[in-house]
Amino acid sequence: MNALLEFLSFSDANVRYVALGSVLLTASSALVGSFTFLNKKSLVGDAIAHAVLPGICLGFILAGTKNPLFLLIGAFLTGWLSLVIIDFITHNTRIKEDSAIGLVLSVFFGIGILMLTTIQKSGNAAQSGLDHFLFGKAASLVGNDLLSFSIVAVVLVITVVILFKEFSLLAFDKDFAIALGLPVRTIQIVLTSLIVLAVVIGIQAVGVVLMAAILITPAAAARFWTDKIICMFILASLFGALSGLSGAFISYTAPSMPTGPWIVVVISFIAFFSFFFAPKRGVVSRLYRQYAIKKTINNENVLKILYQLGEANSNFTLYRNLPEIIRWRYYDEPKLIRILKRLTSQGYTERVGNTWCLTEAGKNRAQRVVKIHRLWELYLTTYMHIAPDHVHDDAETIEHLLTPELEERLEQQLGFPKLDPHQSEIPYNN
């Protein structure tokens, strides 16, 4: 606890640099990365991250020192070049995009490693530290780095805010953007340049391999919590910032720990938590919804059987036993008993011994299901001109799902018909 307070007080200048640098970096990368996520081009960020390595070496060879401007320009050039080549391969050969990405990233990285090792053996003393680009050095950020991080972060955030509408339009409906007369090509180039910029700065902190995570994992996590694009972007940068801060904190308490990988582990856990427990889109809530729907369908189907048995001899008050029900529609016996017990406890059926009968509420609900089923069959044959023997399966699904509003419109559109296509009576409630 003390360590946490000490960390959060930012009294140590070193802590300040590392924490602020990591937060700026992760938050702004998450912002830009969200667009690559929405464009379904997550792995392109990975390709750029690997492809900047030869550029950095090239910048070093040309400058002879670790002049940041040369390194940046070199990185920018090869980062861009890799994207152009991926595009070229995908459009001009029969190689698919994923192979093209994998090929370009590994070959560029190979060239980068070849150059890097050659430089290292050339005896130029200024080269030491070039290999920081491989694994990052978030834990040893100094004042100068913070300055360049902040400048880039500000540039990224401002550009994203200004061009937000254009970027999102491009991600969701490129054809519409073209039709509107937007300079699509230019916007794409700006967006790609932003990504390359984020990568070039980012790999100094987390390294080549993990850069992709900083770009897309926050976006992937945020996507699970909201359907609103603005909320998603805010959440993504918050998640990013949180992971940056935690990463810095962990390497503050345990100095031997590498910051970059911890940032990635934290953001990944946020993402996994989101995948499983986010309301609506999460795995758990989806499974629960599926379970609930399955239960409703089973309930309604058993009610329907009892109703149809009643229809068969115009007596809804008779108690039916299990064989009778199973003969009408097959159910596994233990499962059927489970459903019937549930229905009884919900007040839809009554049990006497091993026989069941519909209550008034049960009869009403079953009647509605049967009515919708038959109305839908009639609708399909009248309006969609589907043969009467082809409509049952569809109706079997819709009977559980139709809302009362649609039910009413269906009745009115068809004019409260008496019979369905199979000459069964359509029951109304009055």
Site size with another protein, rule: CB under 8 A = 63
CB-wise, 222 or 375, nearer to another protein?
A: 222
Residue 93 within binding range of another protein, rule CB under 8 A: yes
For another protein, the binding residue among 48, 138, 141, 219 (CB under 8 A) is: 219
Q: Which stretch binds another protein (CB under 8 A): 59-67, 171-179, 213-221, 296-304?
A: 213-221
Q: Is-contact 359 350, C-beta < 8 A?
A: yes
Residue 209 within binding range of another protein, rule CB under 8 A: yes
Q: How far apart are CA 148 and CA 350, in angstroms?
A: 75
Residue 84 within binding range of another protein, rule CB under 8 A: no
Q: Which of 367, 333, 334, 335 has the alpha carbon at shortest distance from 348?
A: 367
CB-wise, 263 or 398, nearer to another protein?
A: 263
Residue 117 within binding range of another protein, rule CB under 8 A: yes
For another protein, the binding residue among 177, 191, 235, 271 (CB under 8 A) is: 271
Interface with another protein in residues 50-79 (CB under 8 A): 50
Residue 95 within binding range of another protein, rule CB under 8 A: yes
Residue 41 within binding range of another protein, rule CB under 8 A: yes
**CA distances in angstroms from 254 to 13, 26, 135, 208, 293, listed in the order given:** 17, 21, 18, 23, 49
Residue 105 within binding range of another protein, rule CB under 8 A: yes
Residue 202 within binding range of another protein, rule CB under 8 A: no
CB-wise, 204 or 299, nearer to another protein?
A: 204
Residue 319 within binding range of another protein, rule CB under 8 A: no
CB-wise, 87 or 333, nearer to another protein?
A: 87
For another protein, the binding residue among 21, 55, 202, 260 (CB under 8 A) is: 260
Q: How far apart are CA 178 and CA 187, in angstroms?
A: 11
CB-wise, 73 or 107, nearer to another protein?
A: 107
Task: Give me 254's structure tokens.
Answer: 């345990």
> Around 199, how many Cα atoms within 13 Å sit in the side-chain half-sphere?
38
Residue 138 within binding range of another protein, rule CB under 8 A: no
Q: Which stretch binds another protein (CB under 8 A): 11-19, 209-217, 341-349, 352-360?
A: 209-217
Q: Which stretch binds another protein (CB under 8 A): 33-41, 72-80, 171-179, 357-365?
A: 33-41
CB-wise, 118 or 296, nearer to another protein?
A: 118
Residue 140 within binding range of another protein, rule CB under 8 A: no
For another protein, the binding residue among 60, 70, 262, 348 (CB under 8 A) is: 262
Chain residues that interact with another protein, rule: CB under 8 A: 37, 40-43, 45-46, 50, 89, 92-96, 98-103, 105-118, 121, 131, 134-135, 208-210, 212-213, 216-217, 219-220, 224, 256-258, 260-262, 264-265, 268, 271, 275-276, 281-283
